[in-house]
Amino acid sequence: MHERFLIYNASAGSGKTFQLVRNYLKRCLSTKDAKRFMHILAITFTKKAAGEMKVRLIKQLKLLKSYPDIEAGDRAYAEELAAELAIDPIELKHRASAALSGILHHYAAFNVSTIDSFTNRLIRSFSKDLNINGHFQVELDNDRILEEAVDRLLDELEEEGPFTEVLRRYIRQQLDDESAFDSRRLLINRGKELFQERAFPYLEALKELDPETLLNIEAALRGRLNQLRGSFQKEASDFLQRCEELDLAGEDFRRGGLYSWVQAISQADFKPFNKTQIETFEEKGPEHIPSTKGKKKPALNDANILQDLYERAKKIKDLEEGSFEEYWILDRVLKGIHALALLGEIEVRIDQIKEESGRMPIGDFNKIISKELREQPAPFLYERLGDRFQDFFIDEFQDTSRLQWENLLPLLNNALASEGSSTMIVGDAKQSIYRFRGGDLQLFVDLFSDKDASNKVAGRELYQRKVVPMEHNWRSRSGLVDFNNRFFETLSAELPNAEYREIYKQGKQVPAKAEGGYISLELLDNRPSPEMEDEALLNRINDLLQAGYRQRDICLLSRSNKTGRRAAKFLLEQEANLDLAPGEALQILSADSLLIGASAEVQAIISFLEMSEFPKDKERRRAWLALFAERFCPFGQDPHDFRKAWSEKNLKEIGEGLNSLFGSFDFDQWQAQELLEKCYQLMQLFEMPWQNDPYLQFFLDQIQEYQSHSRPVTAEFLQWWQETGSEKSLSIPEDTNAIQVMSVHKAKGLEFPVVIYLSAYGALQSGGGSTNPRAWVDLDPDSFGLSFSFIDLVKPPIPEFQPQYTAWYEEELSRIMMDNLNIYYVAFTRAEQELHIISQMPSKTGNQQSFESFLSRYFEAEEPGIYEIGSRQGPVKEEAEQFGFEPQSFKALPWMEKLELISNVPRHWQHDKLADARWGTKMHQLLAQIRKSSDLDQVLKRAQNESWLDEEDLIQLKPQLNNLLNHKDLAELYHPDGRVYNERSLLVPGQGKRIPDRLVSLNDRWYLADYKTGVELAAHQQQLQDYAQLLKEAGIELQKAVLIYLGEELKVVKLKL
């Protein structure tokens, strides 16, 4: 009998994917039903992981199908799997063959996906039941919708009003805190919290807190704060006044402590007694007040005066002890109250945008399902899915959010209530590094420690869970495994949470690979210069290359992209100093090298758009001219003179200059076109190899994707580009021979022969940024006027007086420290053969909980230098492989043809000799580029150069195009003096775009043409009539409108106007 609920506690390199695939196959092949796979749902954390799992499953099924004609190891695997299923291996072979065939024929039912993909499908399937527009668009870029909301909010800003006052106070506070002044950027940064799962429970209530209400609450809270401050200051002032009357000063009090403390409170500098001061004060009483000098003064030898001073001080202490937590929380809430009001207003605008545009941020999926599950007594969503899925596989469970888990539970429980179903969960609390995306490691901890009670209903256990520890490490050599076991168990002793300490104590692994493994730690001087870190990296890379490692064997890991970016830039600058093989070029794959904004061609297009959109901006013009001169300065001409000559031109003159350089460029016409058209024409104008350049292809894709959600306004696009678009990245082949540079988060799930961890230093208590951690906290509405708030958590001055606030702070601190430890664990466990750590000497007076302190103590390092553990075996020899790739020529039709293909093209086109639908699109594309008859030869030549028009096409199409351009009834449409608008969009409110093929203005008269192929249809005339009506409504009266039927025999049909 199979286990119903398996939980695999899988440390790094323990073979969890192998187990997932094996268990999936056991369920998939448990019966002769070829469609058994349709009843299995496998959920992974990333699309890449889902794709890899699908590939592994299909590969294994193909192997099983080929039994027994497979290698010995694969035969043993097949026979072992057959034995577990209690069937003959030949029967297993037949089942695998049937399952593979079923998957390939019903691939859409092969349910291996991310949880977001699954919830997306679920919501679309039940959109009608959920009262959701089934045609919603998934918004993957939260920043885009957030920026729109902030812009809308600022556009609605009035000169005076509650919101204006809130914003004014918020900005003033940020300036007081020395924050940079950019109100839009401040609002966007703060608004990102709205997309965090931890904020979801508060969003509805937040929208109800309008600015005016919060201003009233602020006034009340500030009044209470001032009242508390006043009571503290009054008692302190009375104490100091009494001291003045007695001619006493700070030096008369023991160590000046009591006097300076009271003096600080009188100045509203609230510094409570520390624990030692409190104990001393209370235990030793009045006699402990005077200093040696003070005892010489008569007043401090009077027992009554000492008692009076003691009572006054004790009153202040008791007042502070009883009210300081309220005072401290009030201060925190007031510092965050303006941000709270702004968040509410931004959330209202986000809802408006979602409603108007039909967009849904991906994070909304789980909110919608959660809301439905709360409101429905019997969750019909899952009832209707329950019979479909019988087995569940959930990978990377430690990165699952609480809301995701709560949404999946009814589905799992519904299935597991039936016999024959199963669930398998795989995770590792030590690799939970996505808390900033909602990942909650406590979920997995509670599951494997059996604290989670989700399998118990009314005291009755629905099913039992079995925890399977995966103790072996199949990735790293034994020396690396032993090092990580010892190092992280030692380091985890610093964690304040006992449960987290136990995770690392129990998570030690058993090496399963060969002996060996090498670890080096290079400690630089404390606070090393960037040059010192760069030199250490260069030496390490050269050392590895000399040892025989290839570039692709090496991965540079860092916590921040900024560190990796600097390292990649440095290595590229130092290529000549690297010990590369003769003829070998340095290749770096990093987040930056794959950024679309890193492309010189893309930069040239963007800079031209900026220059044309902001012609008076000298900086933008200089940026474009620098790129333009570098590429197009004529041979023999000084680039400086070239730039100077062009810098003095106005936009019209620049257009004329481009026309003289390249020909066929009308600046006014170009500027009137839509964004995508502009960029494509620039690529053609500047002769950019867009068919073969993945950056340019990706750039066009990004523009198209942007226009599907936003207005195609160039200025708005340029703003989006600066803030978001330029950070988009390409994907690359995995076998490229290049040094990889990535963040630890990107490296999760990957492995490399050699890992170099950069800048391995910093406090374990730090959240990785310069700001204090923030948290949503529940409040007593009677005391604070609010039931919740979003506050900055700074270290509590005296925990004994602040139990509630201290609990908030320590809970967040514990999570931050676990986050940091997990990041180091993930980084160190990526290495297969060698791990190199570059750090710094710890400060002698600094934080003893810094990572560099732990490293130096573990390696027993007392001075800068290189410290080693283990021995080097060198790279593992593999069969020679060819790395890198040669991009194939990408034969693509320009964008206009792609748009034409998307439209509802009739499938009944008929051409005697050209009976091919592609013929029509080629004709359309050529005509879209022709403005006057004399353009024909140039357009045809360009099409041939771009490889989408061959010689045979030319022979067939050129005579037809000549007939068209010289037709007596079409002279006005192709007149050399006409102003041409090819495929220009007409916006129809509420209905999208209409795109007539050709519109021409000649001598203040307008002419319209639309190209057709095949037989005449009444719908064609109706379409042309619609265009004419739209133009009339726009103030354009047509002189002539014609349908042009293309083919060997040209036919022109005039529309009666």
Whether 776 is covered by a domain: the verdict is no
* Amino acid, res. 315: K
Cα(49)–Cα(113) distance, rounded to whole angstroms?
A: 9
Q: Are residues 465 and 502 in the same domain?
A: no
Instruction: Point out the domain boundary residue: 438, 470, 502.
Output: 470
Of 282-291, 328-337, 946-955, highest mean pLDDT: 328-337
Whether 239 is covered by a domain: the verdict is yes
What is the mean predicted confidence (pLDDT) over 10-18?
Answer: 93
Whether 284 is covered by a domain: the verdict is yes
Whether 16 has a binding-site annotation, put simply, is yes
Q: Are residues 194 and 325 in the same domain?
A: yes
Of 122-126, 440-444, 901-905, highest mean pLDDT: 440-444
Q: Are residues 609 and 587 in the same domain?
A: no
Q: Domain tally for the chain?
A: 5
Whether 499 is covered by a domain: the verdict is yes
Whether 14 has a binding-site annotation, put simply, is yes
Q: Are residues 147 and 166 in the same domain?
A: yes
Burial 725-739 (b: 16+ CB within 10 A, else e): bbebeeeeeeeebbb
Q: Are residues 906 and 1036 in the same domain?
A: yes
Burial 51-73 (b: 16+ CB within 10 A, else e): eebbebbbebbebbbebeebeee
Whether 165 is covered by a domain: the verdict is yes
- CATH of residue 119's domain is 3.40.50.300
Query: What value does the mean pLDDT of the chain take?
Result: 84
pLDDT in tens, 179-230: 556 778 888 988 999 999 999 889 888 888 888 899 999 999 999 999 999 9
What is Dmax (Cα atoms) for the chain? 123
Q: Are residues 601 and 654 in the same domain?
A: yes
Q: Are residues 352 and 434 in the same domain?
A: no
Beta bridge partners, 1001, equal 979, 1006
Cα(1011)–Cα(1047) distance, rounded to whole angstroms?
A: 11
Q: Are residues 658 and 581 in the same domain?
A: no
| Confidence tier at 896 by pLDDT (50, 70, 90) | very low
Whether 119 is covered by a domain: the verdict is yes
What is the mean predicted confidence (pLDDT) over 291-299?
Answer: 83
What is the mean predicted confidence (pLDDT) over 149-153?
Answer: 88
Q: Are residues 985 and 928 in the same domain?
A: yes
pLDDT in tens, 397-444: 999 999 999 888 888 887 887 788 899 999 999 999 999 888 999 999
Q: Are residues 563 and 630 in the same domain?
A: no
Cβ count within 10 A of residue 1018: 7
Cα(784)–Cα(793) distance, rounded to whole angstroms?
A: 17
Position 38 scores a pLDDT of 94
Q: Are residues 119 and 252 in the same domain?
A: no
Lowest mean pLDDT across 654-668, 839-853, 878-892: 878-892
The pTM is what?
A: 0.75
Whether 341 has a binding-site annotation, put simply, is no
Handedness of CA 457, 461, 462, 466 (dihedral sign): positive
Cα(459)–Cα(455) distance, rounded to whole angstroms?
A: 10
265 closest CA partner among 224, 330, 333, 312: 312
Cα(608)–Cα(646) distance, rounded to whole angstroms?
A: 13
Residue 97 has pLDDT above 50, yes or no: yes
Domain that holds residue 586: 479-592+740-767+793-871
pLDDT in tens, 43-95: 998 888 898 899 999 999 999 999 999 999 999 999 999 999 999 999 999 99
Whether 103 is covered by a domain: the verdict is no
Instruction: Point out the domain boundary residue: 361, 396, 431.
Output: 361
Position 900 scores a pLDDT of 40
Whether 525 is covered by a domain: the verdict is yes
Cα(552)–Cα(540) distance, rounded to whole angstroms?
A: 15
Give the pair of three-digit tokens for residue 596: 């679309």
Whether 861 has a binding-site annotation, put simply, is no
Q: Are residues 646 and 673 in the same domain?
A: yes
Using the structure block, give the residue that is written with the tokens 């016999």.
419
Whether 15 has a binding-site annotation, put simply, is yes
Whether 12 has a binding-site annotation, put simply, is yes
